[in-house]
Amino acid sequence: MTDVVVSADVLTSFASEILRAVGCDEDIADAIASHLVGSDLRGVHSHGTMRLTQYEKQASSGYLDPTGRPRVEQTGRGAVVIQGNAGFGHPAMNLAMTEAMTLAKERGSSVVAVTNCGHTGRLGHYAEMAATAGLASIIGGGGRREHWRQVAPYGGVEAKLPTNPWAFGFPGTGDGPIIADFATGMTSGGKAQEARKRGQPMEGVFLQTSEGVPTNDPNAYLRDGGAIRPFAGARGYGMGLIAELLATAMLGTETVECNWVIVLIDVAAYRSSDEISEMVSEIVDDMRSTRPAPGFDRVQVPGQREHFIMTERLKNGIPIHPAVWSELQDLHSRLTTPAQEDS
């Protein structure tokens, strides 16, 4: 089946109309729509507009409050916390990044927490925001594992942890910032959903059955009680567990879906911007000079593949799988078409 190609502007307006119909205020709807389309532009469809069907179900079921607006709070010891007020996570994370970037520029570094919010989208987006402002970033978290049993602990069968992602970012060169954004499972729940919607197996053996047998069948996880395998074995399990401890032991269990910790560093507080830029270029060029292994045409650095895809799709449009596009059109029609009165 041929993908449907949609321009970024058209897709953003389309997504915003759905979100306003779901109950979001216009500014929040526009912010979420821009984020989702930004993910599609970068080829990360698992965190793009396909999520709108999930968001509509969460809003209509009372899982979250589409009208919820984040606010800035402080603990008794002065720590900055963004209270998400049970709303979508994107505006909460945007507010958190604004606060964290301001503080980092003033003090050299900052730590800001985010609590009680829904799905926050692609975590790498927020690392990109920081890198564009000349800041390095470490962003991680998760939470509500009693609801989001997705990833099996290393050596275990049952899913116990959420996918608890981490994102790391650093100011880059002309090809964009250096961004490492990954779930602590071998894949994310969204990528499994994307594969199922496309009627395809996963690209690798990222899942396991309910008996702990490795598989690439998304239904083994989404339908049949299996689990996502931890990435890098015990290492990924350890990173997922630390994220869960930060999100719940430190920040508390009250959340719609996730709690986050954002750490930003103003790299220019340590060396001049010119010195840092020169060293970034040297390191990146060294990585790219590596002889490609069989099956690869070149070596890239994290985040720059997405930058290249975005440049191409801004020019030529975003390909959307026809099954996903049909689902979104049905959702849009159902939410935005006025109900006809009985004669």
What local confidence, expressed as pLDDT, does residue 147 receive? 84
What local confidence, expressed as pLDDT, does residue 248 receive? 94
In the structure encoding, which two tokens stand for residue 308, read together? 């290249």
Helices (H), 4-70: 8-22, 26-41, 52-61
Contact 84, 94 (CB under 8 A): no
Q: Is the pLDDT of residue 83 over 80?
A: yes
pTM flag (> 0.85)? yes
Q: What is the pLDDT of residues 143-183, one digit of tens each?
A: 888 888 999 999 999 999 999 999 999 999 888 899 999 99
Every domain range in the chain assigned CATH 3.30.1370.60: 71-185+230-302
CA 233 to chain centroid: 22
Q: Is the pLDDT of residue 125 over 70?
A: yes
CATH entry, 71-185+230-302, from 2.40.110.10, 3.50.30.50, 3.30.1370.60, 3.30.565.10: 3.30.1370.60
First CA to last CA distance, the chain: 41
Every domain range in the chain assigned CATH 1.10.1530.10: 1-67+303-343
CA 341 to chain centroid: 41
Q: Is the pLDDT of residue 192 over 60?
A: yes
Between CA 33 and CA 318 the distance in angstroms is 14
* Range 1-67+303-343 classified under CATH 3.40.50.300: no
Between CA 180 and CA 138 the distance in angstroms is 10
Q: Is the pLDDT of residue 341 over 70?
A: no
Helix (H) and strand (E) counts in the chain: 11, 12
Q: Is the pLDDT of residue 343 over 60?
A: no
Q: CA torsion sign, 154 to 218 to 145 to 183?
A: positive
From 79-93, 116-130, 193-207, 281-295, the region with the lowest mean pLDDT: 193-207
Q: Is the pLDDT of residue 278 over 60?
A: yes
In the structure encoding, which two tokens stand for residue 267, read together? 């790299």
SS3 content of the chain, % helix, strand, coil (to 5): 45, 20, 35
Partner residues linked to 185 by β-bridges: 230
What local confidence, expressed as pLDDT, does residue 340 receive? 60
DSSP string spanning 192-215? Answer: HHHHHHHT---SSS-EE-TTS-EE
Q: Measured at the alpha carbon of residue 40, what is the angle toward residues 176 and 177, in degrees to the nearest 5?
A: 10
Q: Is the pLDDT of residue 131 over 70?
A: yes
What local confidence, expressed as pLDDT, does residue 146 receive? 86
In the structure encoding, which two tokens stand for residue 179, read together? 């961004």
Q: Is the pLDDT of residue 339 over 90?
A: no
Between CA 221 and CA 185 the distance in angstroms is 12
What are phi and psi for residue 139, nearest 5 degrees? -130, 125
Q: Measured at the alpha carbon of residue 100, what is the angle toward residues 263 and 251, in degrees to the nearest 5?
A: 60
Mean pLDDT, residues 250-262 taken together = 91
What local confidence, expressed as pLDDT, does residue 281 receive? 95
Question: pLDDT: is 91 or 253 the higher one?
Answer: 91
Q: Is the pLDDT of residue 337 over 90?
A: no
Q: How deeply is 273 buried, as exposed, middle or buried, from its count of CB atoms within 10 A (0-12, 13-18, 19+)?
A: exposed
- 3 state SS of 321: coil
Between CA 191 and CA 182 the distance in angstroms is 12
pLDDT band at 198 (very low <50, low <70, confident <90, very high): confident
From 194-198, 256-260, 333-337, the region with the lowest mean pLDDT: 194-198
Query: What percentage of the chain exceeds 70 in pLDDT?
Result: 99
What local confidence, expressed as pLDDT, does residue 296 receive? 93
Q: How deeply is 175 buried, as exposed, middle or buried, from its count of CB atoms within 10 A (0-12, 13-18, 19+)?
A: middle
Q: Is the pLDDT of residue 113 over 70?
A: yes
From 30-44, 202-216, 245-259, the region with the lowest mean pLDDT: 245-259
Between CA 246 and CA 199 the distance in angstroms is 36
Mean pLDDT (the chain) is 95
Contact 166, 140 (CB under 8 A): yes
Q: How far is CA 142 from CA 2, 79, 189, 201, in A?
A: 36, 19, 13, 26
Q: Is the pLDDT of residue 342 over 60?
A: no
